[in-house]
Amino acid sequence: MRTHDDEMPKVKLPSLQDVMDADPAGSRVPDPVHGALPPPVRRIVLDQPPTVATPAAPQTRAAGAGAAPTPGHGGVRHAGEPGPERMRLDALSVFYDDKAAVKSVDLSIRQGEVLALIGPSGCGKTTLLRTLNRLTELTASARREGRIALDDTDIDELEVTTLRRRVAMVFQQPNPFPMSIFDNVAYALREQSMKRPGKAVIAPHVHDALQRAGLWDEVKDDLDRPALRLSGGQQQRLCIARAIATRPEVLLMDEPCSALDPKSTEVIESLILELRKDLAIVIVTHNLQQAYRVGDHVAFMYLGDLVEYGAAEQVFGAPRAQRTRDYVGGAFG
């Protein structure tokens, strides 16, 4: 993990490689306080009973389990088994003109877990997120360095349309298309340069996507209604349905709840926990409680640097870097 040496406190973080592979012998700089990272812990259950049993913590992580809260305290829910690595960022930097917005970040995104990106405004977390499916390329002044791999393939080698179908995005503002609910999802399903499949072919897939986004029961009777007549929370779930309709491997969410009321936020958060089983989810959020609630891992960014990366419990409970401590404690941001 890259750190800002001049401002860093004495504690040196283990590199990402160490965290992910967690080969204790190969640990270059063992964390003096915590050892390796504790397993990710889920704290809230929302409405549903836990769906995932306490995982057999990966051996390598068990070494650091001492720092983790004891499993089984009230309402604790453990993350699912971390799945295979989906995306990998190596020394990723993004520049707008000459200004670095993201500075040499290494990260790993795994299936079956939620990675929450937190940090003060302008720290580069949204830029980082948008780089993952090359949406930054829409900004003329943006330039990228470093490598991003999706399933070990450099994303530059993929057709950008393919990449964006595999790494889907949900935006900050609910942005359904000005068309019917059905067409919003169907549009995502109709593949580029393919013969447009008919409604009968596509309807089951639309149904499925809306079902998974938890919207089906609310809209099944009026799929022909304009999507813009839905409430804000429903619109955002429609956007999620649209994004997951193509069965992406990674779902990027850019502050998906910031425009929503608490109730809709709760619904979307439980949806995130539900979707996490099949997907790798990266969520950018300003809401620390939200990062705490939905994040399996949390990455704290500051001025373009990845300052701290770890299990949610660790980053919020026992942050290693001074700046993380300040931010989480509300000293700035």
Partner 1 sequence: MATQIHQGPPPLPPHGGFGDGPRGSRKRGGESLSTWRYGDRVAYAMCWFCGIALCVIAGAIVLYMAARGLQYLNFTLLSTHPEAGLDQKKTGGFLDPIIGTVLLTIIGIAIATPIAVATAVWIVEYGRPAWLARLVESGIEVVAGTPDIVIAIFGLALFQQSLFAPLSLTADGGAVFGRSFLTAGAMMSLIALPMVFSATREGLQSVPALVREASYGLGKTKIATIRRVLLPSVRPNISTGMALGMGRICGDTAIVIVLLGATLRLESEGGIPGFNVLKGTGSTLTSYVYNNSPAGEGNAPQKAYAAAFVLLLIVVALNFTVDLIARRGSKTGLETGRLGA
Binding site for partner 1 (CB under 8 A): 133, 135, 138, 160-165, 168-169, 171, 173-180, 183, 187-188, 192, 224-229, 231-232, 235, 239, 242-243, 246, 259
Residue 159 Cβ, how far from partner 1 at the closest point, in Å? 9
Smallest gap, in angstroms, from Cβ of residue 163 to partner 1?
7
Q: Number of C-alpha atoms within 13 angstroms, CB side, residue 266?
A: 7
Q: Write down the least CB distance from residue 197 to partner 1, Å.
A: 14
Shortest gap between Cβ of 291 and partner 1 (angstroms)? 22
Nearer to partner 1, 15 or 235 (CB): 235
- Residue 200 half-sphere exposure, CB side, CA atoms within 13 Å? 0
Which among 119, 130, 121 has a CA at the least distance from the CA of 302? Answer: 119
Q: Considering beta carbons, is residue 22 or 279 the nearer one to partner 1?
A: 279
Task: Quote the least distance from Cβ 127 to partner 1, whole Å.
Answer: 14
**68/163 with CB nearer partner 1:** 163
Using the Cα atoms of residue 30, residue 35, residue 39 and residue 41 in order, give the sign of their dihedral.
negative
Separation of alpha carbons 302 and 58, rounded Å: 30
Alpha-carbon dihedral 291, 292, 295, 300, rounded to 10 degrees: 60
Tell me whether residue 164 or residue 293 sits nearer to partner 1 (CB atom): 164
54 vs 246, beta carbon nearer partner 1: 246
